[in-house]
Amino acid sequence: MRHDSIKRAMLAAGLMSLGIVAMPLVTYAATAADHPSGSASAKSATAMTETKTALSSADEKFIEKAAQGGVAEVQMGKLAAEKAQSAEVKQFGERMVKDHSAANDKLTHIATQKGVTAASDMDASSKREYDKLSKLSGAKFDQEYMKSMVSDHAKDVKEFQSESKSAKDPDVKTFVQSTLPTLEEHLKLAKTAQAAAKGEKTALK
Tell me: the pLDDT tens digits for 87-141? 999 999 999 999 999 999 999 999 999 999 888 899 999 999 999 999 999 999 9
Task: Give 119-123's long-range contacts (Cβ < 8 A, gap of 24+).
Answer: 119/64, 119/67, 119/68, 119/71, 120/67, 120/71, 121/68, 121/71, 122/68, 122/71, 122/72, 122/75, 123/65, 123/68, 123/69, 123/72
- Per-position b or e across 97-117, b if 16+ CB within 10 A of its CB: bebbeebbeebbebbeebebe
pLDDT of residue 200: 74
157, pLDDT greater than 60 = yes
pLDDT of residue 160: 98
1, pLDDT greater than 80 = no
Give the pLDDT confidence of 19-74 residue by residue, as tens digits.
444 444 344 444 444 545 544 444 444 443 334 567 899 999 999 999 999 999 99
pLDDT of residue 48: 39
80, pLDDT greater than 50 = yes
**CATH, domain range 56-204:** 1.20.1260.10
pLDDT of residue 8: 60
pLDDT of residue 201: 59
Question: What angle (nearest 5°) sits at the alpha carbon of residue 102, between those of residues 107 and 118?
Answer: 25
- Sign for the pseudo-dihedral over CA of 52, 55, 59, 62: positive
* Average pLDDT score over residue span 5-11: 55
Please give the DSSP secondary-structure letter assigned to residue 7. H
* Average pLDDT score over residue span 5-17: 54
Q: Which residues contact 16 (CB under 8 A, 6 or more apart)?
A: none
195, pLDDT greater than 50 = yes
Please say whether the beta carbons of 69 and 104 come within 8 A: no
pLDDT of residue 54: 78
pTM (2 decimals)? 0.72
Could you give the C-alpha distances from 131 to 69, 126, 141, 204, in angstroms and in order? Answer: 16, 9, 12, 25
pLDDT of residue 50: 38
Three-state DSSP at 88 gives helix
